[in-house]
Each structure stands twice: as structure tokens, then as C-alpha cells.
């Protein structure tokens, strides 16, 4: 699935470049970017998922800044926890995470007040994880049951993401929209022995690549550029 997802996003990048070239060749005068925009969003999908999957919990925020043309600079962050609780294995983890990257608009803006956006993007992400001590039980009807203990550990995860999505302005400054993500872990070997059950911002710790999504409610403020 990761290969198909990556191919789709590279196709979207190509469409974006084609649309940009087509815009430059058009006789229509370019729109003057006379405003900056700063937008803060909260992913409402993760708390909803927690109601159905209580062993994973995450809170995710997004901040993006529009400076000019179709480029947005993005910072994301959040925190969460997960746990594994069964007759065989019991432990938990918690973490914070941060992401930096860009979103590039796929289509030109139609008029100065048009802030709707379809985009593709890139992210670099890092998470700081505390994994609790773990207890385990091996059931054996012949030799008898064996219990054991694995010490807790602090871990750091690095990954990059390919993203795509859209945002629509419902009212002045109020947006809703979604982002799909292909996530690719860069240092998964450290999780080989006992991966964290869930890494907020990434997903399951035993997976080297993950497909994920967010659904945001966002609010933006704008201010006029000097001299325009």
C-alpha cells in the first residue's frame, strides 16, 4: 500500500507543477498576494477514534503560515499514549511529537479572497517516547508458565511523511479539511525487541510504514503586507 500511496502523491506533485506552468502561460494577470495568513488547526478525528479504540490516545495540532503564491510553511505537534493489556503482555508508552514541513497548493487561487486549498506536502517528524516496564507471561502446559520483566526505556523516533489534502473556508477565517499521510519510519531497528504499542503522531510502533489521516477544524488570522 505504501508504494501505491507514494505513487499517487508523486502524481499530485506532477499535476501541481503542470498547473503552475499552465498558470504562467495564461494571459490572465497573476493575483497579488497582499495578505499574510496564520492558521491554527486541531485534529478532531483522533479524540473520536479514542472512543472506539481506547488503548490509543492522541491530540494533534497544526500551524501553517502563508507568505506568498501557493506555498505554506507548516509546524505540527501533539502528545498521546498507548497501552497493551493482555494475558500475555502488559505495558504502556507515552510521547510528544513535532513535525516541520511545507504544503504546496495544487491549483492557482481564483481571486484574492479565495483561500480554499488543495495541496501536497512533505514533513520531517520526531517523537520523544517513554516506554514503561513490561511484564509478560509465557504459557506452557508441559513446562509450566513463565513470567518475565522488561525494563522501561526512553526512545526517540524519526520519520518523514508525504501528505496530500484540502482545506475549505466555511466562514471568514474558519476552515475545515482533511490530510492523508504516508509515514515512513527512519530508525525502526530500535523498536525490534519491544516496540511502543502506539506512538502519537505516527501510529503503531511495530510498523515501518503507515497510512494515516487527519480531519481538522482550523481558524486563520490575516494581516495586510506593508506597501500593498
pLDDT tens for the chain, residues 1 to 228: 445 444 544 544 454 444 444 444 444 555 667 889 999 999 999 999 999 999 999 999 999 999 888 899 999 999 999 999 988 899 999 999 999 999 999 988 888 788 999 999 999 999 999 999 999 888 877 777 788 888 999 999 999 999 999 999 999 999 999 999 999 999 988 888 899 999 999 999 899 999 999 999 999 999 988 865
Amino acid 25: pLDDT:
44
Note whether 120 and 10 are within 8 A (CB): no
Note whether 198 and 81 are within 8 A (CB): yes
Amino acid 28: pLDDT:
53
Amino acid 198: pLDDT:
95
**DSSP per-residue letters across the chain:** -HHHHHHHHHHHHHHHHHHHHHHHHSSSPPPP--EEEEEEEEESHHHHHHHH-TTEEEEEEEEEEEEETTEEEEEEEEEEEEEEESSSEEEEEEEEEEEEEEEEESS--SSTT---EEEEEEEEEEEEEEEPPEEEEE--TTT--EEEEE--EEEEEEEEEEEEEEEEEEETTEEEEEEEEEEEES-GGGGSSS--S-BTTTB-TT-SEEEEEEEEEEEEEEEEPTT-
Domain containing residue 105: CATH number:
2.40.160.20
> Does the reported pTM lie above 0.95?
no
The tally of domains found in the chain comes to 1
Tell the residue number behind the cell numbers 517516547, with chain if given. 129
Amino acid 4: pLDDT:
47
Residue 20: give the domain boundaries.
2-224
Amino acid at each position: 500500500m505504501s508504494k501505491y500511496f507514494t505513487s499517487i502523491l508523486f502524481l499530485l506533485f506532477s499535476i501541481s507543477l503542470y498547473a503552475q506552468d499552465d498558470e504562467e502561460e495564461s494571459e490572465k494577470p497573476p493575483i497579488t498576494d497582499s495578505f499574510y495568513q496564520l492558521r491554527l488547526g486541531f485534529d478532531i478525528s483522533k479524540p473520536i477514534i479514542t472512543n472506539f479504540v481506547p488503548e490509543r490516545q492522541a491530540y494533534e495540532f497544526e500551524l501553517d503560515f502563508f507568505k506568498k503564491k501557493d506555498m505554506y510553511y507548516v509546524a505540527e505537534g501533539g502528545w498521546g499514549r498507548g497501552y497493551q493489556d493482555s494475558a500475555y503482555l502488559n505495558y504502556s508508552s507515552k510521547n510528544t511529537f513535532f513535525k516541520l514541513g511545507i504544503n504546496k497548493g495544487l491549483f492557482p487561487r481564483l481571486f484574492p479572497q479565495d483561500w480554499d486549498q488543495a495541496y501536497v506536502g512533505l514533513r520531517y517528524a520526531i517523537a520523544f517516547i517513554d516506554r514503561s516496564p513490561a511484564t509478560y507471561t509465557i504459557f506452557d502446559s508441559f513446562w509450566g508458565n513463565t513470567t518475565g520483566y522488561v525494563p522501561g526505556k526512553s526512545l526517540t523516533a524519526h520519520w518523514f511523511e508525504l501528505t496530500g489534502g484540502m482545506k475549505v473556508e466555511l466562514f471568514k477565517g474558519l476552515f475545515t479539511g482533511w490530510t492523508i499521510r504516508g509515514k515512513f519510519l527512519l530508525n525502526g531497528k530500535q523498536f525490534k525487541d519491544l516496540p511502543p504499542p502506539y506512538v502519537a503522531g505516527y501510529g503503531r510502533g511495530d510498523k515501518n510504514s503507515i497510512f494515516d489521516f487527519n480531519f481538522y477544524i482550523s481558524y486563520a488570522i490575516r494581516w495586510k503586507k506593508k506597501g500593498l
